[in-house]
Structure 1
């Protein structure tokens, strides 16, 4: 089951190391334990080893592009909710794919923001973090439904965190069983889970078998820890449903990911879709 060296790679979760750690304040504000509030730079840092924390920050975009070049990542899906990411999209429009993180608490303003960015920035996806909002907004909450409806209208996929969150916040908002109701109410919605769906990975597989437009991405997991249920699903009936996603620079280096990836026991026929084809189809990119 050889890894196809030199194959095009689309990373459906990549970003930039900015100076300081203020980008995680929105998570830290709802934590209650002292370590999360006072000691951890990255709220889920305790789950990872060798977090790439010491990257240069003078030009975060250049650092990420250099790592992408080094490890063969052709394109990366980035959130354009900050100036650094917008700078990346401006400087390297052929390397970065824009997505927008929305806050369902903003109601109609969130929908207006989405339409504006869709028309002006070419946004290709929406990102949601149910456990990261304050207060939290469950996957199937009525506040989410206008966003789902607008994404169906615009033909945009939604990437949503599912499963127990890494930061020390409550998990109920991301229970995988909540996805079933959403897919029932929005069968045209393309939904891609992030961050593993654990400990309900078997349920995630069952739901992907049930719902044609439900997908899984491998964000925040080093390849050696990909859930066995997901590898087995990709090798059997789910070759077109599992997308590669990294976690650089939040918790994983591209070096670790790409060094471990060849050992994942995917069938030869799975790799092209996993590395590139499935993401290209979901994001509406030319292949």
Structure 2
């Protein structure tokens, strides 16, 4: 049958840039790259992506442009950050039903960060936390103590945490996001819903072993064009991992929805896996209706 088109997908990674090339949004990460890569291209991992989408020069039009693309490819809901929603009034004014909110965590802030998360859950209804270990400053690894209060709060608030794992695209050290570090966190916090983001390469086989081991460990396909999804992940989704693998794109950071959905047509998923991959797993894990 191939990819079905009779229901709307949930996308676990859509972004709203700050400007045409998201230079303001990328500023902090670009500054951490010691080779000056951020001066050649605003995107910190620009060397990995060709034909990065542009939403034009008018940020006031970005939200409508993103929703138009979501409509074109039948993406019903997408996860964006609270910060993106706050600087784009069109999210709340015209498209509140199309987005659900997450917040990026700063573990070095300790209990202040925990209180901020609790407030966002209470007042804004956030559905997830996100964390990019290699871009944290100072760098805090997945299994380090600064994150433990945040993991505990995530359990109390029933919030999944979505964490970059594997070799980072930007030229930043990888020690903070080795897949093996996830093991200790899932062992200590068995109730924590932990979603691995950005591929996990070159440790995708280890990621699968850990998902087999821990019931609340998941994987989403963010920042990978479908033709580059690791084969092991596709095989796992088609077998014991059907309820573990979730769709996430990378629009407009590095991939267009047009490219993503054209390549998804060729993805060799079993018919019964497609609804789980595109919608049902995310709806269950993130508590979406």
- TM-score above 0.5: yes
Task: Give the alignment partner of residue 124 of structure 1, picking from 127, 130, 133.
Answer: 127
Task: Give the alignment partner of residue 205 of structure 1, picking from 182, 204, 208.
Answer: 208
* 1:103-252 correspondence to structure 2 within 5 Å: 103-252=106-255
Distance 2:162 2:111 in 1: 20
Determine the structure 1 residue equivalent to 2:10.
Answer: 10
- Measured after TM superposition, the shift of residue 128 of structure 1 is 0.6
Distance 1:276 1:29 in 2: 36
Change in CA separation of 1:227 and 1:154 when aligned onto 2, cut-off 3 Å:
same
- Measured after TM superposition, the shift of residue 37 of structure 1 is 3.0
Determine the structure 2 residue equivalent to 1:68.
Answer: 70
More deviation, 113-122/57-66: 57-66
Determine the structure 2 residue equivalent to 1:23.
Answer: 25
Q: Runs of 5+ in structure 2 lacking a partner?
A: none
- Measured after TM superposition, the shift of residue 85 of structure 1 is 5.0
Determine the structure 2 residue equivalent to 1:48.
Answer: 49
State the TM-score, normalized to the length of structure 1. 0.96
Distance 1:202 1:90 in 2: 44
More deviation, 143-152/82-91: 82-91
The superposition leaves residues 167-222 of structure 1 with CA deviations (integer Å, 9 ceiling, x where unpaired) of: 00000100000000000000000000100000000000000000000000000000
Q: Secondary structure at the match of 1:127?
A: strand
More deviation, 77-86/236-245: 77-86
The superposition leaves residues 155-178 of structure 1 with CA deviations (integer Å, 9 ceiling, x where unpaired) of: 110000000000000001000000
- Measured after TM superposition, the shift of residue 40 of structure 1 is 1.3
- Measured after TM superposition, the shift of residue 86 of structure 1 is 6.2
- Measured after TM superposition, the shift of residue 154 of structure 1 is 0.6
Determine if contact 1:89/1:98 at 8 Å carries over to the other structure. no
- Measured after TM superposition, the shift of residue 53 of structure 1 is 3.1
Distance 1:77 1:71 in 2: 16
The superposition leaves residues 99-119 of structure 1 with CA deviations (integer Å, 9 ceiling, x where unpaired) of: 111111111111111111101
Q: Secondary structure at the match of 2:32?
A: coil
- Measured after TM superposition, the shift of residue 54 of structure 1 is 5.2
- Measured after TM superposition, the shift of residue 90 of structure 1 is 4.7
Distance 1:170 1:55 in 2: 32
Q: Runs of 5+ in structure 1 lacking a partner?
A: none
- Measured after TM superposition, the shift of residue 78 of structure 1 is 0.6
- Measured after TM superposition, the shift of residue 18 of structure 1 is 2.6
RMSD: 1.3
- Measured after TM superposition, the shift of residue 87 of structure 1 is 4.6
Aligned residues: 285
Change in CA separation of 1:85 and 1:176 when aligned onto 2, cut-off 3 Å:
farther
State the TM-score, normalized to the length of structure 2. 0.95
Distance 2:245 2:65 in 1: 28
Determine if contact 2:8/2:76 at 8 Å carries over to the other structure. yes
Determine if contact 2:107/2:146 at 8 Å carries over to the other structure. yes
